């Protein structure tokens, strides 16, 4: 592969050797170190490849061996440039394209966020835009460490953030803490401590405190927002008097039992789409497009006389080697004609569909760490619809986070009270 590229850059020839004894010519070339390849016999003569440089050395050998050498074809970059030497616009366009690709490679054209499940890509992209990180910015001005630091400071449940530039793509990988559900700014928690509060009206089933002061016991009935574990720890002297406070990030595994209302309604009527066929294939309208920013070039059209149709879009981003993503999209839009009719579910079909949807909802709850202990959901069938309605009793994590209230130091408060009494006696 390497030598093929070298030969193409330098240029090479396909020659034909004819005469009384072409074998003498081949031996002479071998003796003088002239490189020949692709040798084959053609009609009593020989054809082979050799470089342009070696071709200039064989004139004397041809006369000495009594052979005749003819050039059959020329290959390589020098001959290509010579052939199109008068087409200046072609080379100018190629040079401009190379310069354009190089200039575009100096900017960020795609931001790829991975690992986020609690927040959408648009939420994180909106925050990045407020921090002046956006598509179209210079790749050299991207500070990956600052981006990771800002994201961790803005969202306390992001336990790990990594930012890297790959070609023209900014890749941000995050890892969320699945045990946290409330957003708390990091600086607020670090300065004053954090309480664990109830996210639901529930009964505490179990509680294991690792850090902080527990304020409730197992079996206690709490309301949403009640403090379960305080991030404030009392410091006491030998007499049991509170002399100060220490603040920390409260940590505990708290399981509560509470009820969730469930309701899922399903209409009895539903739409059925049937597609029109023309000689065994679906008749459709296609439009191909090429988009760069606000500029769009289209081929074909979607204008049609269909009464009803489905609209599909397939789009891909142009990239070089899968590394350099360019702000250019291409694809096609398709309009597929169809007919829409209305049919009705039977009572049995409604019950089976609602039961299947309820089972999927229960599976989603189990994936979130909830255990269903009691099921009071029933299916009610009506004339135009059916509904699955009821309550579920579940057990699962109920702790959320809230900033700890800062109290004045007891010693300072006592000293102020004594000073007030002294001033009153005077």
- Return the CATH number at 76: 3.30.70.260
Per-residue confidence (pLDDT) for residue 379, from 0 to 100? 94
Alpha-carbon span 29 to 20, nearest angstrom: 16
> How many other C-beta atoms can be found within 10 angstroms of the C-beta atom of residue 99?
10
Is residue 116 domain-shared with residue 48, that is, in the same domain?
no
Contact 339, 282 (CB under 8 A): no
Choose the final residue of a domain: 118, 148, 176: 176
Residues 69 and 121 occupy one common structural domain: no
Q: How many domains would you assign to the chain?
A: 3
pLDDT of residue 378: 95
* 121 and 65 within one domain: no
> pTM for this one?
0.51
Per-residue pLDDT at 323: 67
Token reading at 220 = 């206690």
Residue 97 has a pLDDT of: 87
Report yes or no: 231 and 249 within 8 Å, Cβ to Cβ: yes
Total Cβ atoms within 10 A of residue 257? 18
Question: Residue 211 domain-assigned?
Answer: no
11 lies in the same domain as 73: yes
Picking from 148, 176, 204, the residue at the C-terminal end of a domain is: 176
pLDDT at res. 178: 58
Same domain, 77 and 116: no
Distance CA 33, CA 51 (A): 12
CA–CA distances in Å: residue 294 to residues 105, 109, 330, 331: 20, 15, 13, 16
3-state helix, strand, coil split of the chain in percent (to 5) is 30, 45, 25
Pairing of the two strands 67-75 and 169-176: unpaired
In-domain check, residue 43: yes
Asked if 279 and 334 sit in the same domain, the reply is yes
Mean pLDDT by 10 residues, the chain (426 residues): 83 90 88 90 89 89 89 89 79 86 86 86 90 89 91 84 89 76 42 86 94 93 94 86 88 94 94 72 80 84 79 84 76 86 93 95 90 94 93 93 87 49 48
Beta strand pairing status for 324-344 and 285-292?
antiparallel
Assigned domain for 142 exists: yes
Q: Specify if 369 maps to a domain.
A: no
In a domain, 283, yes or no: yes
Query: Are residues 119 and 66 part of one domain?
Result: no
Q: d(Cα 85, Cα 308) in Å, to the nearest integer?
A: 56
Q: Of 344, 371, 396, which residue sits at a domain end? A: 344
CATH number of the domain where residue 143 is located: 3.10.20.310
Tell me if 425 is assigned to some domain.
no
The phi and psi torsions of 411 (rounded to 5 degrees) equal -65, -40
Of the candidates 195, 172, 284, 324, the one whose C-alpha atom is nearest the C-alpha of residue 247 is 195
List all residues 6 or more positions away from 390 whose beta carbon is below 8 Å from its beta carbon.
261, 262, 375, 376, 377, 378
Domain assignment present for residue 45? The answer is: yes
Same domain (yes/no): 78, 6: yes
Q: What is the span of the domain harbouring residue 21?
A: 2-83
Rounded (5°) CA angle 43-45-48: 115
279 inside domain: yes
Residues 276, 340 within the same domain: yes
Q: Is the dihedral of CA 331, 337, 340, 346 positive or negative?
A: negative
């Amino acid at each position: 592969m390497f030598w093929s590229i070298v030969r193409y850059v330098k240029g090479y020839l396909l020659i034909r050797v004819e005469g009384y004894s072409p074998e003498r010519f081949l031996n002479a070339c071998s003796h003088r170190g002239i490189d020949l390849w692709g040798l084959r016999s053609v009609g009593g003569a020989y054809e082979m490849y050799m470089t342009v440089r070696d071709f200039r050395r064989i004139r004397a050998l041809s006369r000495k061996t009594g052979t005749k050498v003819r050039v059959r074809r020329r290959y390589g970059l020098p001959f290509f440039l010579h052939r199109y030497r008068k087409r200046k616009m072609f080379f100018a366009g190629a040079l401009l394209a190379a310069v354009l690709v190089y200039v575009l490679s100096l900017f960020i054209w795609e931001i790829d966020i991975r690992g986020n499940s609690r927040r959408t890509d648009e939420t994180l992209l909106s925050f990045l835009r407020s921090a002046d990180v956006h598509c179209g910015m210079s790749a050299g001005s991207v500070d990956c460490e600052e981006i990771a630091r800002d994201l961790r400071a803005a969202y306390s449940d992001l336990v790990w953030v990594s930012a890297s530039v790959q070609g023209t793509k900014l890749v941000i990988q995050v890892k969320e803490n699945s045990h946290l559900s409330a957003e708390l700014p990091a600086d607020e928690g670090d300065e004053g401590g954090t309480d664990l509060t109830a996210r639901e009206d529930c009964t505490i089933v179990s509680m294991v405190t690792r850090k902080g002061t527990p304020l409730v016991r197992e079996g206690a009935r709490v309301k949403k927002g009640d403090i379960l574990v305080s991030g404030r720890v009392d410091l006491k002297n030998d007499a049991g008097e509170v002399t100060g406070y220490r603040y920390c990030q409260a940590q505990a595994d708290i399981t509560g039992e509470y009820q969730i209302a469930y309701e899922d309604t399903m209409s009895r009527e539903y739409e059925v789409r049937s597609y029109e066929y023309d000689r065994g294939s679906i008749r459709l309208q296609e439009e191909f497009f090429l988009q760069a920013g606000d500029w769009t070039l289209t081929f074909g059209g979607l204008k049609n006389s269909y009464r009803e149709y489905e609209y599909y879009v397939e789009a891909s981003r142009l990239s070089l080697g899968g590394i350099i993503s360019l702000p250019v999209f291409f694809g096609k839009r398709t309009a597929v004609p169809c007919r829409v009719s209305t049919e009705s579910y039977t009572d049995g079909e409604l019950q089976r569909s609602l039961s299947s949807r309820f089972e999927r909802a229960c599976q989603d709850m189990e994936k979130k760490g909830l255990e269903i202990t009691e099921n009071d959901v029933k299916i009610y069938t009506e004339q135009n619809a059916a509904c699955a309605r009821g309550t579920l009793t579940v057990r699962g994590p109920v702790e959320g986070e809230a900033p700890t209230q800062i109290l004045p130091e007891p010693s300072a408060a006592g000293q102020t009270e004594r000073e007030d009494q002294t001033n009153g006696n005077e």
